[in-house]
Each structure stands twice: as C-alpha cells, then as structure tokens.
Amino acid sequence: MSAAPLPAPPPALAFAMEAQQGAFVQCVTGLQRTLRTTPLGWALVAWLCGDRIAPVALLTWLGLAFTGWVACLLVLARLRRVGPDVQRHNGWLLAVAVTDGAWWGAVMPLLSGDDMALNALLAAVLCGAMAVNAPVYVPRIRAFHAMCAAMWLVALCSLPGHLAPGMADIVMGLGLFMGLLCFVMRDIARRVVEGLRLQLANAALTAQLSEALAAASQQAATDGLTGLPNRRSLDQLLNAQLAMAQREARPFSVLMLDLDHFKAVNDTHGHAMGDAVLRGFAQRIQAQLRRSDVCARYGGEEFCVVLPGTADALALDAGERLRRAVAGAPLAPNVPVTVSVGVATWRAGDDAAALLARADDALYTAKRTGRDRVVAA
Ligand SMILES: Nc1nc2c(ncn2[C@@H]2O[C@H](COP(=O)(O)OP(=O)(O)OP(=O)(O)O)[C@@H](O)[C@H]2O)c(=O)[nH]1
C-alpha cells in the first residue's frame, strides 16, 4: 500500500518556510561576498602587529585564519550548490559562523600581550570584524550569535594567561558591545525575515490577482455555450480590422451565418439538443477556417465570421465551404441542419455597422430565397 501524500502546508506556513529559505540563501551569498574582503583585515592585523610581536605568533595566527577562511569558502560554495534546504544545511552555516568568529577571536590569545596600545587596537579590530559581518548575518541571526559566541569565547582564553593589567577591562567592554549588538540585531533580523515573508505573500497575491483578472477578461470576451468570441470581442475585432483596412487599403469580409429553422430543432429535440447543435456548429465552422479567420457568436443562432485579407469571390467561396460543411453531416446525432450565409466585403467609407448591415441584408435574402445558400451583398 503506498503512503498517502503529505498535505500541503497552509499558505502562511508555506510563506514562512520560503522566507526562511530565502534568508538562508541571502546569508550564504552575503558571506561569500564578505569573505572575499577578509584578506584586507589580515593585512590590517599584520600592519598593527608588524614589529610589536614575534613573527612566529603573527604567522601562526595568519595560518590559522587562512585555513579557516579556505574551509569556510569551500563550505559556502557547497551550500550554494545543494540549495536552500534550511533544515538540512543549517548546521554547516553555523559551522562557518563559528570558524569565522574563532579565527578573529584568536587575535587576543595569540597576538595580545603587554603592549596596551596594541591590545586596544586588536580589540578594536574585533569590533570592526563584528560590525562588518553583522549586516551579512542579519537574515540568519542564529549564525551571527554563533559567530559572536565563538569570537567572545576564544578572545576570553587570553584573560587568565598573559594579559596586561587593564586588558581584562577592554575584553569585558568588548563583550558588552557584542551583547548589545546581538540584542539589537535580533529585532532587526526578525523584521527582515518578516519582510521577506510579506514580499513572498505579496508576489503570490499579485500572481493570483493577475490570473483571476486574465480569467475574468477571458470570460468577458467569450461566449459561455460555444467557447467562441462573443459579440463584444467581435466589435473589437471589427474595429481593429476597419482601422487596418483604412490604413493599408487591405480589404476584408464578414459572413453572417444563421441556422435554418432552429426553432424547430428546439421544439422537436429539446433545448439541450439545441445547445448541443450550437456547440457542434461552432466546432464545425472553426475546423474550416484559417488561423487568421475568426468566428464569433453574434447572438442566438446567428454567427459572424471575419475573414481578414479576403474579398468578394474568395469570401463567397469561404461561405460556400462553410455551408457545405454544415449541411454535409448532422451537427448532433440525428439532427440535420442547414445554414444560410450573407457575405459582405468592406468598402472604403464603411464602418462596422454599415458592413454588418449589408451582410445581414444578404443573409435575409438567402433566407427569403429558400435558405441553405450563400448570398453576397
Ligand atoms: N437551444 C438554444 N436555442 C437558442 C439559443 N439562442 C437562441 N435560441 C433559439 O433559436 C431560435 C431562433 O428562432 P427564429 O429566430 O425563429 O429562427 P429560426 O427558427 O432559425 O428560423 P430562420 O432563422 O428563419 O430559419 C429561437 O427558438 C431561440 O429560442 C441558445 O443558446 N440555445
């Protein structure tokens, strides 16, 4: 027995999850970018320590920082590849944050000592590293906390050992600064993730609205029974054709089609069968037309076909082809019907009403002279 599929999460939860993933990706991308500027920080530390400490201590710290830096970049590149599955990859991001904080924190136990000025400068470097990283970690505030904790704990290692008097105050001050920054950042981070969630919800709402709008305008332009363009769309199409015909002197024709004795179909076979005949008629006509031709439902059992770029004789041929297609086989089982067709070709000065009136006159003539025929205006 196959397991039932998991139900989709409610929209609010889905947006929250997506926002978390987006925040994760933002953090990974931002960290990659920021880590590229890290060598500048090393250069600063090397310049500050220069001739004040033993080169071996500086090289040890640089080696440690470089190793951690390469590891972080490799992990981040992998995270970019495997995608934003926060649940599965969050541990790796935290590991990057801890490594990032630890190598900066190691500045204190490895490089500080009796030189008060240097100690203060190194403490300032740590503050700078935190401040530079803070905005990058905003979308994943836990990673920022991990970075700060690692930096702080490693820096604390220098307290019991060789720190000069007064250095403890600097490290404590640094700790206070970290605590305050973490506290303020928590609130900012919450707002950022909430902003992301709202952005996603808005995007989904916009997509839903434009879908609904497209469906509504499609509905407003379509005849519900046959699926053909309705009278409103026909008017728009005719106006467009008229504008083109006037501009380019390119003729077009309209065919008015009216099913013969349709009332009898309804009376004999019922209204439902009448509807089926109308649907079958629409399909039959459409199957006969070119892609550029349009058949619209004019109203009731009357239809109008617009034939762009088609004049007189060719329009008459098209009408005849449609008439034969309808008469050739029943449109619904055992309900044979025929159609009468009036043809009119656009003439300079015609507006839509004049053109349709001439096609209607021709249709009336076709009806009057026996039906099941095509008459040109
Ligand atoms: N089933 C169905 N019938 C419709 C629909 N719209 C219009 N009709 C029917 O179409 C019939 C049109 O009848 P008439 O205008 O008398 O025309 P006719 O019977 O086709 O006769 P001629 O046009 O003179 O050949 C009416 O009975 C309308 O009720 C529709 O959507 N569905």
Residue having the nearest C-alpha atom to atom 6 of ligand 1: 300
Tell the residue number behind the tokens 């990673």, with chain if given.
Answer: 143
pLDDT confidence band for 1 (50 / 70 / 90): very low
123 is a domain residue: yes
60 is a domain residue: yes
Total domains present in the chain: 2
Ligand 1 lined by 275 (C-beta under 6 Å): yes
Q: How many angstroms separate the alpha carbon of residue 122 from the centre of ligand 1?
A: 93
Least confident of 86-90, 213-217, 273-277, 297-301: 86-90
pTM given for the model = 0.61
94 is a domain residue: yes
pLDDT in tens, 219-245: 999 999 999 999 999 999 999 999 999
Residue 45 and residue 122 in contact, taking contact as beta carbons nearer than 8 Å: yes
Residue 162 structure tokens:
């060789």
Q: How many angstroms separate the alpha carbon of residue 129 from the centre of ligand 1?
A: 83
pLDDT in tens, 84-126: 787 788 899 999 999 999 999 999 889 987 788 888 888 889 8
Residue 281 and residue 228 in contact, taking contact as beta carbons nearer than 8 Å: no
Return the bridge partners of 303, or none. 257, 297
Q: What angle do CA 301, 306, 308 make, to 5 degrees?
A: 170
Give the count of beta carbons closer than 10 Å to the beta carbon of residue 190.
12
Where is the domain boundary, 146, 171, 205? 205
Q: How many angstroms separate the alpha carbon of residue 88 from the centre of ligand 1?
A: 67
Q: Is 256 helix (H, G, I), strand (E, B) or coil?
A: strand
Where is the domain boundary, 170, 205, 240? 205
Ligand 1 lined by 259 (C-beta under 6 Å): yes
pLDDT of residue 78: 92
Where is the domain boundary, 160, 189, 205? 205
pLDDT in tens, 251-295: 899 999 999 999 999 999 999 999 999 999 999 999 999 999 999
Ligand 1: nearest atom to the Cα of 266 = 1
Q: How many angstroms separate the alpha carbon of residue 272 from the centre of ligand 1?
A: 13
327 is a domain residue: yes
CA 93/CA 97 separation, integer angstroms: 6
Ligand 1 lined by 274 (C-beta under 6 Å): yes
Q: How many CA atoms lie within 13 A of 70 on its CB side?
A: 5
For residues 33-59, average pLDDT: 92
Q: Are 176 and 250 within one domain?
A: no
CA 119/CA 71 separation, integer angstroms: 28
Is residue 163 scored above 70 in pLDDT? no
Residue having the nearest C-alpha atom to atom 8 of ligand 1: 300
220 is a domain residue: no
pLDDT of residue 164: 60
Ligand 1 lined by 223 (C-beta under 6 Å): no
Which of 223, 228, 262 should be mutated for ligand 1, with most atoms under 8 A from CB? 262
Q: What is the CATH number of the domain that holds 271?
A: 3.30.70.270
Domain that holds residue 333: 231-376
Ligand 1 lined by 293 (C-beta under 6 Å): no
6 is a domain residue: no
Secondary structure letter of residue 164 according to DSSP: P
Which of 263, 268, 278 should be mutated for ligand 1, with most atoms under 8 A from CB? 263
Residue 331 and residue 277 in contact, taking contact as beta carbons nearer than 8 Å: yes
| Alpha helices, H only, the chain | 11-35, 38-49, 55-82, 86-105, 107-111, 116-137, 141-156, 167-221, 231-248, 262-269, 271-288, 312-328, 352-368
Point out the residues that are catalytic: 301
The residue count of the chain comes to 377
213 is a domain residue: no
More confident residue, 211 or 8: 211
Q: Are 198 and 63 within one domain?
A: yes
Q: How many angstroms separate the alpha carbon of residue 102 from the centre of ligand 1?
A: 86
Q: Are 117 and 169 within one domain?
A: yes
Q: How many angstroms separate the alpha carbon of residue 287 from the centre of ligand 1?
A: 23
Mean pLDDT, all residues of the chain: 89
Residue 118 and residue 53 in contact, taking contact as beta carbons nearer than 8 Å: yes
Ligand 1 lined by 271 (C-beta under 6 Å): yes
Ligand 1 lined by 260 (C-beta under 6 Å): yes
pLDDT of residue 239: 93
CA 328/CA 310 separation, integer angstroms: 24
Residue 143 and residue 186 in contact, taking contact as beta carbons nearer than 8 Å: no
ipTM: 0.96
pLDDT confidence band for 162 (50 / 70 / 90): low
Q: What angle do CA 349, 350, 352 make, to 5 degrees?
A: 145
